[in-house]
Amino acid sequence: MIIARPVANHIARPHLKSASLTLVVTVHEPYLQWLPSLLASARQQNLAVRKMLVCDDCHPAQLDQEWEVLHGVWHDPNAARNAALEHITSEWVVFWDADNVMPGDYLQTVAVAAEHSKRKTAILYPSVVRVTDDQKVGFRADAELWDYWRAKERSMADTCSAWKVLALRQLPEVFRAGCSPLDDYCLVQRLTELGWKGEPIPSTVALRDHPLRRSLTTRPQTANTLWQARRHAIITPWSARWHCCEELASWFLKAELPPQTNIVWIDNSGDAKFETWLWKLAAKLRKRRQIQSIEIRGVHGRAKDQTYEAIHTQVARLYNLAMTGRTEDIVITLEDDVIPPLDGLQKLCEPFLPFTKVAVVAGAYPTRGQPERVAASTTPDRWGSMPTMDSLSDQVRPIGMVAGGFTAWAGWALQKALPFHTTEQPKLGWDGTASRELNLAGCGLFLHGGVRCLHRTA
């Protein structure tokens, strides 16, 4: 994509008083048909806000004098918005696509909300509804009270929200190149990681559902957009399994990892030689990979016996110590006897989309003692019917219970499952108990047949 390479780029500035709010409307040739009604709505609101029209390789008819016009050739609404931001001096900005329908009191509602907003509020978001030309409603998202984890589970704010300019300027690049239906969702994630919050406003914006929508006419790179924007944590308990630790070390050094990755290694070995080996591996990983952080925690007190129940009780304890209080979007549990494919992590993370209720996606690997069976269960409350490895396709399929050997957990879902425990039904193990809790909460659990792992103690 071309990022802000404008041709004959200029801005006409009428003499207007400075305001705390700027309305930025982006329009390209196919959207010109809806521009007159939008301009009429903005005119009728009679509010002294700064108004800027960003024309992407198009030339609208005569405009009111109150509009500043920025011309350029970007072929990308995100690049056009970034160009407009360079000229913004107000406290708040509303980004508006010309095909959206603006309520008659929207700007006034935003202005009042901005005046009374809290200091750490950076997003003022309305309810949104998608409608067809014959007024059929295809989708509705009501503006809910702000919640950190809820904002990760679903998309809380559309681009048509009001955004605090001070917060936007803290980002190295506000709107990333390309057009994705989840650009607004990703922007919210990046702002919340900086400590900013949102507030709902009492207004509903209609988004036109038509075949010329940008997300339909361009190929959205949704998975890559989320891969770049989200924060991930990989948590691995190590127990000095010398027969396979070099294989897992090689995976960490070579695998496709997200740009925002925190690694937590729990050394439960009680082995001084292994501890030295693990610290050397961490040093090598820091040198070779751009990892945000690598943390090694030494935790002593291994299970006195090696029964299934004792092992899972200990693993639950280790994960609880490492997971409690984490704020990443996705947390991956990777046990030291499971070797994933190099592209496995990216595949595991792709199904996590807002509004889908996808809570857990597990890689497929043989269960201990039954190499032909997958460590997963089609039943939601017990380790019952386990699918065979041969029966799996390369796609994602719903599953009743997952094992935690190589498993991605949505951060919002973990809040419903933590702390892991094995007390009520020891035979379920920590991962089976977590699966049951999430099933009871109405969350979706999935098995990814395209992520086939080796299980070195199967």
pLDDT at 457: 84
pLDDT at 271: 92
423 C-beta neighbours (distance < 10 Å), count: 9
CA distance 7 to 315: 60
Helix (H) or strand (E) holding 198: strand 197-208
CA distance 452 to 341: 7
CB neighbour list of residue 116: distance below 8 Å, 6 or more residues apart = none
Confirm if 295 and 326 have CB atoms less than 8 A apart: no
Amino acid residing at 178: G
Cis, bond preceding 419 (omega within 30 deg of 0): yes
Half-sphere exposure of 23 (CA within 13 A, CB side): 26
pLDDT at 216: 53
pLDDT at 422: 72
Instruction: Kindly state the tokens that stand for 352.
Output: 């996590």
CATH class, domain 230-455, is alpha beta
First to last CA, the chain: 47
Confidence (pTM)? 0.88
200: left (phi over 0), alpha (psi -120 to 50) or beta: beta
Topology adopted by domain 11-221: Spore Coat Polysaccharide Biosynthesis Protein SpsA; Chain A (3.90.550)
Instruction: Kindly state the tokens that stand for 237.
Output: 């308990």
Bridge partners, 238 (sequence order): 267
Instruction: Kindly state the tokens that stand for 42.
Output: 């903005």
pLDDT at 432: 92
Nearest of 109, 81, 89 to residue 183 by alpha carbon = 81
- Tens of pLDDT along the chain (458 residues) come to 233 333 334 444 333 333 599 999 999 999 999 999 999 999 999 888 999 999 999 999 878 889 999 999 999 899 999 999 999 999 999 999 999 999 999 999 999 999 999 999 999 999 999 887 766 777 788 999 999 999 999 989 999 999 999 999 999 889 887 667 788 999 999 999 999 999 999 999 999 887 666 665 555 567 888 898 899 999 999 999 999 999 999 999 999 999 999 999 999 998 999 999 999 999 999 999 989 999 999 987 665 566 767 777 888 888 998 999 999 999 999 999 999 999 999 999 999 998 888 999 999 999 988 999 999 999 998 898 999 999 999 999 999 999 999 999 999 999 999 998 877 777 888 999 999 999 999 999 999 999 999 999 85
Confirm if 201 and 143 have CB atoms less than 8 A apart: yes
For the purposes of burial, counting CB atoms within 10 Å of the CB of 41, is it exposed (0-12), middle (13-18) or buried (19 or more)?
middle
Block residue for tokens 């409608």: 131
Coil, helix or strand at residue 6: coil
Rounded to 5 degrees, φ, ψ at 22 are: -120, 135
DSSP 385: -
Confirm if 325 and 293 have CB atoms less than 8 A apart: no
Bridge partners, 204 (sequence order): 127
CA distance 157 to 148: 13
pLDDT at 302: 62
Domain ranges across the chain: 11-221, 230-455
Residue 3 to residues 6, 74, 83, 175, 293, Cα–Cα distance (Å) = 9, 6, 9, 10, 31
Domains 11-221 and 230-455 share a fold: yes
